[in-house]
Amino acid sequence: MIGGLDRVPTGIKGLDEVLKGGLPKGRTILVVGSPGSGKTTFAVQFLVGGAKDGEPGLYVSLDETPERVKVDLSSFGWDLDSLEQKGKLTLIDATPLKRPGHRFVEPTGRENPVSFTIPELTLPSLVRTIRRIAAEEDTQRIVVDPITSLMLRYPEEIKRRRALLSFFDALESTGCSCLVTSELRTSELERRFQLEEYLSQGVILLHTMVHEGDIVRGLQVEKMRGIGHDEQLRPYQITETGIEVYPKDRVFRTNLR
Amino acid sequence: MIGGLDRVPTGIKGLDEVLKGGLPKGRTILVVGSPGSGKTTFAVQFLVGGAKDGEPGLYVSLDETPERVKVDLSSFGWDLDSLEQKGKLTLIDATPLKRPGHRFVEPTGRENPVSFTIPELTLPSLVRTIRRIAAEEDTQRIVVDPITSLMLRYPEEIKRRRALLSFFDALESTGCSCLVTSELRTSELERRFQLEEYLSQGVILLHTMVHEGDIVRGLQVEKMRGIGHDEQLRPYQITETGIEVYPKDRVFRTNLR
Amino acid sequence: MIGGLDRVPTGIKGLDEVLKGGLPKGRTILVVGSPGSGKTTFAVQFLVGGAKDGEPGLYVSLDETPERVKVDLSSFGWDLDSLEQKGKLTLIDATPLKRPGHRFVEPTGRENPVSFTIPELTLPSLVRTIRRIAAEEDTQRIVVDPITSLMLRYPEEIKRRRALLSFFDALESTGCSCLVTSELRTSELERRFQLEEYLSQGVILLHTMVHEGDIVRGLQVEKMRGIGHDEQLRPYQITETGIEVYPKDRVFRTNLR
Amino acid sequence: MIGGLDRVPTGIKGLDEVLKGGLPKGRTILVVGSPGSGKTTFAVQFLVGGAKDGEPGLYVSLDETPERVKVDLSSFGWDLDSLEQKGKLTLIDATPLKRPGHRFVEPTGRENPVSFTIPELTLPSLVRTIRRIAAEEDTQRIVVDPITSLMLRYPEEIKRRRALLSFFDALESTGCSCLVTSELRTSELERRFQLEEYLSQGVILLHTMVHEGDIVRGLQVEKMRGIGHDEQLRPYQITETGIEVYPKDRVFRTNLR
Amino acid sequence: MIGGLDRVPTGIKGLDEVLKGGLPKGRTILVVGSPGSGKTTFAVQFLVGGAKDGEPGLYVSLDETPERVKVDLSSFGWDLDSLEQKGKLTLIDATPLKRPGHRFVEPTGRENPVSFTIPELTLPSLVRTIRRIAAEEDTQRIVVDPITSLMLRYPEEIKRRRALLSFFDALESTGCSCLVTSELRTSELERRFQLEEYLSQGVILLHTMVHEGDIVRGLQVEKMRGIGHDEQLRPYQITETGIEVYPKDRVFRTNLR
Amino acid sequence: MIGGLDRVPTGIKGLDEVLKGGLPKGRTILVVGSPGSGKTTFAVQFLVGGAKDGEPGLYVSLDETPERVKVDLSSFGWDLDSLEQKGKLTLIDATPLKRPGHRFVEPTGRENPVSFTIPELTLPSLVRTIRRIAAEEDTQRIVVDPITSLMLRYPEEIKRRRALLSFFDALESTGCSCLVTSELRTSELERRFQLEEYLSQGVILLHTMVHEGDIVRGLQVEKMRGIGHDEQLRPYQITETGIEVYPKDRVFRTNLR
């Protein structure tokens, strides 16, 4: 029986069709993309979709402040402030390395902000904080954006491997449907695989390719344990309302402007 | 005389034809694949096929808990729990690194689970445990999925080489037909070979290629000592009932969607 | 709503059309280019455009003396000396490493030059100086050209990552619209991404490619958080009046002389 | 005069024609191949050919036990046991690293097995043992399969170079016609050369290539000092009776099934 | 106004047209080329051209003795000895590393040779010597051929960068028009850029490419600050009278013999 | 005037035409080739050609014993023994590293062999011995085959560079016409250049390429200071009488078998 796992709609137009019903519920999925491919847009759109369906979401920002993320995404008309105030969306700032004393930063935009502290930002400590907040807030979707700088703390592959597996386990133990973003190292379609692609339950690649001198964007569900899915590379665009995938088109045959 | 070695049917549709009769009985075969290529599906399908033919199987899980593997594969309708309860399938959790105290974990889903302990998880200690269980359970097929993190413990190539040879020897000394999975490093068809490809008795590659912007899956029996086999790259798919190989088709000429 | 961010015209013919209205105001954008691709021309043209619209600009020169930059760009007829004397353009020489005692160097060409000193040239100290000058001069546009040698001071990726994020933050905290130039490592279109492409708010690539034996120049807005933009690779030239982008043409189909 | 050196027939169908008369007698030739390319089959077939012509052969197995090699090759109908019993073939197990105490292992399958010991397995000690056995057994052909792990003992190129030259010298001083197998690092036709290709008297490459999605096997006599030979890449197959080369065909024009 | 900088004719047929009037006067330009591409011919031809126009030149030889350079170029009929005797050309031998005691070597071929000494050959000391000679000899053109071994003295990129910038500065402070040659690392058109390409005022590349099995020579003005120029790759040849560029031809469409 | 340098005929059919008259007399030329490309054949053929024209030659063998080289080349009918006995050819064995006590080895095949000793084999000591022998024997042509292992003694590029330049200088100071062979690292036509290609007076490349599945041999005079030459890649073969170049053919258009 295909579809043995429960699904959550992604909130991204066309993607649920590629996934034949949405992402597996309660799993941690990796979104790997090139610069400008829309990883953050993808991840927040997933939370916004959930918030509209009554699933509160938590956005953990590793490289940018939540305030800046909100400004960056303001043109999509998602009204993130309103979702925050209704308790449907929590954004936490996990960029302590840029601040003196490495203070961890409270969620933004809430009327009575609660202060969360991570004494030392490592994969385990981040996970403990996420789990605490998730429990208190009835969170059902979590985004960690991006995982890259945390992975750099484990230069030895065997330790990085172990840390990543623990991290994915811990996220999954929250019961939430999770997205973790990661940076793609190269624009080549033929490339070395990245460690996290092997260790995650599912991988969605956002490629930005150059084909005969044109820039082409393609989304590929490289891996998705537990569910059947379309495995083709499908064109996508970042439109005025967010990311849109074209599940019936082919990347190199789409008419380009 | 081709076929001098006894064969075991793989349980994978179309693959026995590629192998001209099944895998060599009592050998240790490597399955190398890209992320999402279906290595775990392949390996468990091999055990399920054996279980149905009366050959009890042992699944040793290195990166994922057996519980999760069972959920991931639930859509194929293989009823792994039932096979476990009948003693036809044993799943052991060899992921001690993710748990405090590095406790080794008992087989799951059995009514009277027996507790096995590996004091320190290395290739030799893993092998000893596997051999002990295999002897007690009348096991005839073994899967180790995946070997990658264990190989990382031997950073020096000459030692990794020796450890791998011993590991393959030990598995073979159980008398069981064994599959070991390993991660493919790159999506390139023209690539550097990996150490384990040279040291194993047989290698089945699961490639996921990009061909003119389309994702194409191909299976290649790169090596299979002792038996004649089709050496071409053959298309395969992950269908609702598991992996299916098309032994008469060509990967770049198959009609896609 | 696309265009939620305020925009600043770039002063570069054709580029505002590619950006669907100009660069996001108050952001720090990266210009990455190959040798001879016109990074400095691009950056100063942006300041000249601002100066003409009443936005005073600050040019921070890391590898060349401002005097030399002015001579190099003299053929474009921008009259940088006149802009300097009117207080519309400040050029500071941040090349102390080439001078004895590492003295930091005063702005050039002003009637009453003010002397600024950076005791030790690091990303943070550079930023403090920039902020001080920007505040005193009512600066609204800042260019740092190029960032490369400063990045070399952080050989460890995790520290370079942190330093770059702080640097971009600090520039952004000035309230100015900023451009930072960086060197592209390779002429290959299919290439490894560079760290700074992931960490900046926006990336404009200036490629110089070889296509069937011809040199072709192409500009690509790889990334631009907060605004919709044309993502195609567009041909550009360095003309007698500066850089000109052809927003309706394609790089590999343009007629070459 | 071409053919100044005496020749030995290879026992491999079609290969003597490529070599214009067989391998140079008394030389040490390298066989470099990809995984599954048939290096061991090639090497043992050379010994079997010699045994049938009255030239006793010695097979030195570095990675596999001779017992396993015999089983692996059993389908070709060469009756290795019978050749052993007649003293026409000696197989020695040089895999001491996999056994406790690093005991060296006696030849197999002989009625009165003689025990040979190598106190420490290095290139020189291996060579001494080979020479001793070769002298006692009236050996005329020697195979060392494969040389790779021994080369790993010399991480410094200049020392590896010297060790390899001594090794080839010593083999040649036995007066036997020798084959040494080595692992090819990559499947690319355009590739970096390997050290041993420069240092040996002759090199036969066994490529397994992917050409337009098809697997193609090609044999190339890359180098063969002292004799003229066909230098083209020729298709070969592993058939029911061993390796067969097609000396008049081209690899990319052969009709594939 | 294009051409704001004064120009010097290059003395190389066809090149002034590519440069739209010659090299910028008083600048330091890099000539990067593959082995056999004619870097030395190019550089000395530039000095000969100057000498004929009344601009005395200085040739600083880093890898070869001036005597050998004169012999190598003797076939072009430039009569370097005569130019030397008239004081129009000075050749200095900066190859002290090959001589005992690291003595620096006097200019050759002059009637009353003056002895110049560099106590330790580094970029700064070389520059001081060059400046001293240039001042005494009324030099107007300088060639340093090649810079490569001096760059190897700065293994750390940040220090090599600083040294190169200082070196270019110092050369420029002589007021002379300077050429510095450098070795191209690869024959690939798509390649990693070299440090010196970013740090110099202008770069002329001399490529030797293989195109469909033919050797093709192409010259590209990759970069030339301060002047407009043809940016196409243009064919060139080394003729009986020196280098000749074909400013209207294309490299891959030229008829080859 | 092209041809200002005196020339020596190469003794290789077709090559003098490519060189427009032979190699420059008294220079040191590099022959770089892939395994099996015929470097040794090329170099000895050059000596044989000289011996026939009354120019005594010296062959310095670094990797193989002269005895073996003579056997390897015996099929070409050059009668090296006879040339040796007439004093027209001296072969010295510079492979002391393979012998106990690192004794240097006397010239072979002479009636009254003289013993030469190199206490420690380095580039300088080798050169001293070569010069001494060359002076005593009235040698006019010298071959060093191959230089590779000596270069490995200088792991630091700056020192290897200096050693190579001194080595070429010293050879040239003998007044002899010299060939030095070197190993090509890769079979790719587009490749990184090797250090010695930049530092030698002339470079002849012997490529063995794979073109559409066929092996193609091509000779390219990459560089030849002081003389004009054909720069195209020309096909060559190793025939029954030695190497033959086809100076009017193209490598990719030659009819193959």
Write out pLDDT tens, residues A160-187: 998 899 899 899 999 999 999 999 999 8
Tokens of E146: 């090649």
Least confidently predicted of A53-57, C77-81, D78-82, E90-94: E90-94
Cα distance between residue D119 and residue D130, in whole Å: 13
Which residues of chain C neighbour A160 with C-beta distances below 8 Å?
A: none
pLDDT in tens, A205-218: 999 988 888 889 99
- The span from the CA of B131 to the CA of B141, in Å, is 12
Distance CA C136, CA D106 (A): 88
Six-digit token string for B48: 């399920």
C-alpha dihedral, D183 to D185 to D191 to D195, nearest 10°:
-60
| Mean predicted confidence (pLDDT) in E191-206 | 94
CA-based torsion, F12, F15, F20, F22: positive or negative: negative
Token pair recorded at residue D103: 């005991």
DSSP chain F: -TT-S-EE--SSBTHHHHTTSSEETT-EEEEEE-TTS-HHHHHHHHHHHHHHTT--EEEEESSS-HHHHHHHTGGG---HHHHHHTTSEEEEE--GGGSGGG--BPPSS-SSPPP---SS-SHHHHHHHHHHHHHHHT--EEEEE--HHHHTT--SHHHHHHHHHHHHHHHHHTT-EEEEEEE--BS-SS-BPPHHHHHSSEEEEEEEEEETTEEEEEEEEEEETTS----SEEEEEEETTEEEE-TT--TTTSPP-
Q: How many CB pairs under 8 A join A and B?
A: 98
d(CA E163, CA C98): 8
Element housing A237 (H / E)? strand A233-239
Assess whether pLDDT exceeds 90 at residue D109. no
Interface of E with C (CB under 8 A): 1-5, 157-158, 161-162, 165-166, 169, 189-193, 197-199, 201, 203, 211, 218, 220-228, 231-233, 250-253
For residue A50, which amino acid is it? G
- Residue D64 reports pLDDT greater than 50: yes
| E neighbour chains, 3+ CB pairs within 8 Å | C, F
Contacts of D256 in chain B (CB under 8 A): 232
- Chain A residue with minimal CA distance to B97? A162
Q: Do E232 and C214 touch (CB under 8 A)?
A: yes
pTM here is 0.90
Q: In terms of Cα–Cα distance, which of E164, E145, E201, E162 is closest to E28?
A: E201
pLDDT at residue F194, as a whole number: 94
The ipTM value here is 0.88
| Segment among A95-109, B196-210, E34-48 with least mean pLDDT | A95-109
Return the higher-pLDDT residue of E123 and E211. E211
Angle at CA B181, nearest 5°, toward B177 and B186?
145
Distance from CA of D175 to the nearest CA of B (A): 30
pLDDT band for position D137 (50/70/90)? confident
Q: Which residues have CB under 8 Å from A166's CB, separation 6+?
A: A123, A124, A127, B98
Alpha helices in C79-225 (DSSP H): 80-85, 123-137, 148-151, 157-173, 195-199
Chain F residues contacting D via beta carbons under 8 Å = 34-36, 40, 63, 71-75, 77, 95, 97-98, 148-149, 152-153, 183-189, 208, 210, 212-215, 217, 238-240, 256-257
Can you tell me the distance from the alpha carbon of D236 to that of D18, in angstroms, rounded to the nearest whole number? 12
Instruction: Tell me whether strands A214-224 and B57-61 are parallel, antiparallel or unpaired.
Output: unpaired
Say yes or no to pLDDT of B58 above 90.
Answer: yes
* Calpha distance E249→E251 (Å, rounded): 7
> What angle is formed at CA B116 by the lines to CA B111 and CA B121, rounded to 5 degrees?
140
Nearest to F227 among E75, E146, E152 (CB): E75
Give the mean pLDDT of chain F.
86
**Position of tokens 């960032």?**
C147
Angle, helices C157-173 vs C123-137, to 10°: value is 10
Q: Give chain B's contact residues with D (Cβ, < 8 Å).
A: 1-5, 157-158, 161-162, 165-166, 169, 189-193, 197-199, 201, 203, 211, 218, 220-228, 231-233, 250-253
Alpha-carbon distance of B119 to D153, in angstroms, equals 31
Return the higher-pLDDT residue of B42 and D96. B42
**Does B contact D via 3+ CB–CB distances below 8 Å?**
yes
Q: Indicate the range of C60-69, D93-102, E73-82 predicted with least confidence.
A: D93-102
The pLDDT of residue B96:
66
Q: How confident is the model at residue F241 (pLDDT cuts 50, 70, 90)?
A: very high
pLDDT of A108 higher than 50: no
* Per-residue model confidence as pLDDT tens digits over F55-113: 999 999 998 889 989 999 998 999 999 999 999 999 988 886 544 333 333 344 444 43
The pLDDT-based confidence of F127 (bands split at 50, 70, 90) is confident
Rounded distance between C-alpha atoms, residue B149 and residue B160, angstroms: 12
Q: Report yes or no: F28 and F8 within 8 Å, Cβ to Cβ.
A: no
In chain D, which residues have their Cβ closer than 8 Å to the Cβ of F215? Answer: 220, 231-233
Beta strand C57-61 with C89-93 is: parallel
**D117 has pLDDT over 70:** no
Per-residue model confidence (pLDDT) at position A149: 85
List CB contacts of B107: < 8 A, sequence separation 6 or more.
Answer: B66, B90, B91, B92, B93, B113, B114, B116, B133
In whole angstroms, what is the distance from residue C96 CA to residue B244 CA?
67
Q: Which of the residues C63, C147, C181 would you substitute to probe the E interface, choosing the one with the greatest number of E C-beta atoms within 10 Å?
A: C63
3-state helix, strand, coil in chain D (%, to 5): 30, 25, 40
Count Cβ atoms below 10 Å from residue F31 Cβ, excluding itself: 27
Q: Is the pLDDT of residue A72 over 70?
A: yes
The answer to whether residue A55 scores a pLDDT higher than 90 is yes
- What is chain A's length? 257
Chains that touch B (3 or more CB pairs under 8 A): A, D
| Position F121 confidence tier, pLDDT thresholds 50, 70, 90 | low
Note whether F59 and F144 are within 8 A (CB).
no
Segment B9-13 mean pLDDT: 97
DSSP line for D136-157: HHT--EEEEE--HHHHTT--SH
Q: pLDDT, tens digit, for every residue of E21-68?
A: 999 999 999 999 999 999 999 999 999 999 999 999 999 999 888 998
Per-residue pLDDT band at F124 (split at 50, 70, 90):
confident
DSSP letter, residue E147: -
Judging by beta carbons within 10 Å of its beta carbon (0-12, 13-18, 19+), is residue C135 exposed, middle or buried?
A: exposed
Chain D CA closest to residue B249 = D257
pLDDT of residue B254: 47
Q: Which residues of D touch F213 (CB under 8 A)?
A: 211, 218, 233, 250-253
Q: Which residues contact E54 (CB under 8 A, 6 or more apart)?
A: none
Better pLDDT: D211 or C52? C52
**Rounded to an integer, what distance in angstroms lies between the CA atom of residue C206 and that of residue C18?**
14
Measured CA to CA, the distance from residue B235 to residue B18 in angstroms comes to 11
* B181-185, B230-234, B250-254, C221-225: range with lowest mean pLDDT: B250-254
To the nearest whole percent, how much of chain B has pLDDT over 90?
A: 60
Q: How many CA atoms lie within 13 A of F167 on its CB side?
A: 27
Average pLDDT score over residue span C87-110: 60
Average pLDDT over residues C193-205: 95
pLDDT of residue F252: 81
Least confident range of A89-98, D207-216, F54-63, F137-146: A89-98
At residue E242, φ and ψ (nearest 5 deg) are 125, -165
* D contact set with F (CB within 8 A): 1-5, 157-158, 161-162, 165-166, 169, 189-193, 197-199, 201, 203, 211, 218, 220-228, 231-233, 250-253
pLDDT value of position A103: 34
Give residues with Cβ within 8 angstroms of E248, minimum separation 6. none
* Residue D115 CB partners (closer than 8 Å, separation 6+): D106
How high is the pLDDT of residue D123?
A: 74
Mean of all residue pLDDT scores within chain E: 86
* pLDDT (0 to 100) of residue E214: 86
Query: Is 50 exceeded by the pLDDT of residue D58?
Result: yes
Who has greater pLDDT, C123 or F193? F193
* C25 vs F126, residue with greater confidence: C25
- F74–D250 C-beta distance less than 8 A: no
Question: In Å, how far are D146, E104, F214 from D107, measured between CA atoms?
Answer: 17, 68, 43
Q: What is the pLDDT of residues F1-30, one digit of tens each?
A: 344 689 999 999 999 999 999 999 999 999
User: Which residues does residue E186 pair with via DSSP β-bridges, in sequence order?
Assistant: F192
Q: For residues A107 and A98, what is the distance between their CA atoms, to the nearest angstrom?
A: 16
On chain A, the residues whose CB falls within 8 A of the CB of C165 are 63, 95, 97-98
CA-to-CA distance for F174 and F27, rounded, in angstroms?
Answer: 10
**Which of E193, E200, E234, E251 should we substitute to test contact with C (largest number of C Cβ atoms within 10 Å)?**
E193
Strand partners, E233: E220
In angstroms, the Cα distances linking B224 to A33, A246, B17, B227 are 37, 42, 14, 6
Distance between CA atoms of residues D120 and D128, nearest Å: 11
Residues of F in contact with E75 (CB under 8 A): 1-5, 226-228
Query: Which is higher by pLDDT, B159 or E57?
Result: E57
Regarding beta strands A214-224 and A233-239, do their DSSP bridges make them parallel or antiparallel, or are they unpaired? antiparallel
Q: Is the pLDDT of residue E128 over 90?
A: no
Query: Can you tell me the distance from the alpha carbon of F135 to that of F132, in angstroms, rounded to the nearest whole number?
Result: 5
Q: Chain centroid to CA E139: how far? A: 15
pLDDT band at D96 (very low <50, low <70, confident <90, very high): low
Q: Supply the pLDDT for residue C253.
A: 65
Q: What is the mean pLDDT of residues A43-60?
A: 96
F contacts of D161 (beta carbons < 8 Å): 149, 152
> Which residues from F are below 8 Å from D222, CB to CB?
35-36, 208
Mean pLDDT of all residues in chain D? 86
* Residue A109: both structure tokens together: 């935009």
